[in-house]
Structure 1
Amino acid sequence: MIKNFEIRRFSFFIFIIILCTSAFIIYNNSKNINYRKEYVEFKGAVIDKIEIRNAKYYIYSQNFVMVNNYIADEYRVGDFICAGGYRQDLLSLGDYGLYLKSKGYDYRMYIDYIEKIGHKISVASIMDEIRQNLKSIIDFLYKDYSTIIRTLIIADREFISKDEIMLFSRAGISHIISISGFHIVLIAGIFFNITFFLSKKQRYIISVLFTLFYVILTGANPPAVRAYIFYITFIASIFLEERYDIFSIGFLLSAFYMILNPYVIYDFGFCLSFMSVFSISMFYKIIFEHLEKIVKNNLCKLILSMVCVTLSAQILTIPYVYYNFGIVSLISVITNIISVPLISLAYPFMLLSIIFVKIPFVRDVFCNVVNFIIYLFYKSNEILTSINYSYINFDHKSLFFVIITYIIILFLYTLYIKIQIWGNYISIDKARE
């Protein structure tokens, strides 16, 4: 047990050094914010991403985010453009600016004029073409639940409503609509299992390749990339027959992200995904080992395992969610026990309905199954969150309270580990006697 929870000092110290350096860089930059709007023009930029939110067009290119209320012409990823407008430093935009900085952008520009001057075929443009086709297929197949299915399949949250986001927050299941470890494990598991007729090594390789394609297709967001790296390092540990040290990988990986972009610490999905991984790694086995003693049935142990995963993930993530959203769900264990199996069950049928879209009877069978499962997913969460005291809303959030909470959690965890070490020494001494 001690080996399983051993935190490698080298990777931890590297993480702390990079974290402190990132904080210093951010603090230093905050003292030199440019609040002026400057008119700029550029030519030959390539569009990396396009979003339509709140009746506004958001065009992402290089280190710019271009915004306009209306764009007459059709643009797509890979287009070369020339444009002009008023540029604004993102640090002058408060929390939203910090969020965009966490994604690697430096400026926002209100578009005065924009013109397409060419097109470049690239991996990004090909993936965007596939995404657009998948959007059309999903909208055709699932008229009632296209928004949530778009989110689950291709990470398109364009039409997710504020009411839905609030529902997921109150239920404690926001991780389900953010492509991260849960989805990577699902996709990898699906491709690993459907290739059962191959050798285990070949199955792992195929699952790794298809999961990589999925990560790129969904935009290669930090949580998805993080989860994929954890997955391939786990597979590598199996091939190399080495012990898998999730803490070392996690600390070094997060340090690497901060080196690339110090502002990544403002990316909610990035921070939440790392916290949940560390939290499960630290507390799952402790909780499960103490509770499994009262459970003997295998099915009950499976359910208990799911409960323990949810409980352990909450320990480090609840304070962070509280500080960012002012909501703490008191029913997250129950909602996750219901929602995670439902979405896991729906995933293969979603993929099959897309694959067999040209065969009406087969397609309709799969669609009906998905519609029923998604209906249960929404209904169960609506009922549970309507119960009194199912969640707590906080009008005021305290950073001091969050810091103290984390200090207490880490102190108790360290104390528990030391007690286990002392217990092992005592047992060894008694055995020698």
Structure 2
Amino acid sequence: MTDMGGLIRNRIFKRWTGCILILILSICLSGCWDRRELQERHFVLAVAIDKADEGLGAERGKDVDRVEDFVQPHGSKLYRLSFQILQLTPSNNSEGAGRGNTSTSVISTTGESMLEMIWDLQGQSNKELWFDHVQTIIISDAAAKQGGLQPILDFYHRNEEIRWLTKVVITDGEARDLLDYKPPSGEASGLFIANSLRMYAKSQHVPGWHTDLGDISTSKDNRRRVLLPRIEMADDVVKLGGMAIFKNEKFVGYVDEYATQGGKLMGGLERSAVITFQCPEHSGSILAFELFSHTTKIKPHVEGEKIYYTLDINIRGNMAEMQCRLQHDTIKDQDIHKLEQLVANVVKENILYSFRIFQDLKVDASFFGPKLEIYEPQVWERVKDHWDDEVFPKTSLIISVNVVIEGVGAHQ
């Protein structure tokens, strides 16, 4: 016969043993063994990368230059690396229990290896530097022209702390100056710039597509062109507009706001835009069309040795502004159709303007090459090795634009 009492005692023993083990493990795993208070960290909000000798004027003393330096066993002093640091301090106000005060400061050093400079910058901070919240990386064009993007961004692509949604911009001035900028919103300039870039859908002058750190890494890995939004600062005014183009990670040149807008129209990337033009009947009067929806279709065609593309665009929107409204009857269909044709002509001119600039720079910024690879793979194999330098600059673009004006606003 089975010893029922022994079985029961055995089960009770196993259950108690399991409970004790769970309690022991809970005690060992509870809490954060490496916990550090927020006030014990310095969060890096923005990174600025300049050429080492850039921005050295009378306002910078020799003692400052000496502090922003270190004995470098290998390499040269190519870059000045600057961090915008968010400092958190406990509140001294009894009413603000649980709250703290925030401020930002900027530290800099010079060198070549980004990691080596970061370790040197730790000597200017009494707390550990953390990169989990980096919002913006600002690169001066002088630094980019020295050796391209690879030596500048390689560390940030490899670092697991830095998010791939970090915004990257380029400036023709000194990048560090933008870290010292005090936005009217009161937030840190690193946050201000990142939030401004996220509004690219509301500004046709800002290239918001494929410009994050992760997108740049993907473009570099696939040997594609890289586009960086351009940011300018004059006195206390900061503005985003236009872009810089890199090919094979080398700086090619800047593209103005109008060409940036044309590139977005060409690629079907506009979700909201304003298209202005002069009224042909009333000199000096401006009309403005507000774009609401936008689709494009690009198709390559091959005729012998000739390669050309057709671009079909469909746009919908409203007439948002008519300075000569009293001279037009926007109730009549024929007048609406005239306005639609005017908008179509302006869109066509804008796209051709951008297309010619990309051809002059010998950069296929709107991915015409990949379209040819999809539709005509055999032709692409024949021309891919000299596409940017020889074939693309000679291609033609035939544009067809269909515009539908859905409304003329709340007032006729």
TM-score in same-fold range (> 0.5): no
Asked which structure has the greater CA Rg, the reply is: 2
TM-score category of the 2 structures, normalised to the smaller one: under 0.3
Q: Which has the higher strand share?
A: 2
If asked which structure has higher relative contact order (CA below 8 Å, sep 6+), I would say 1
Structure 2 length-normalised TM = 0.25
**Larger relative helix fraction:** 1
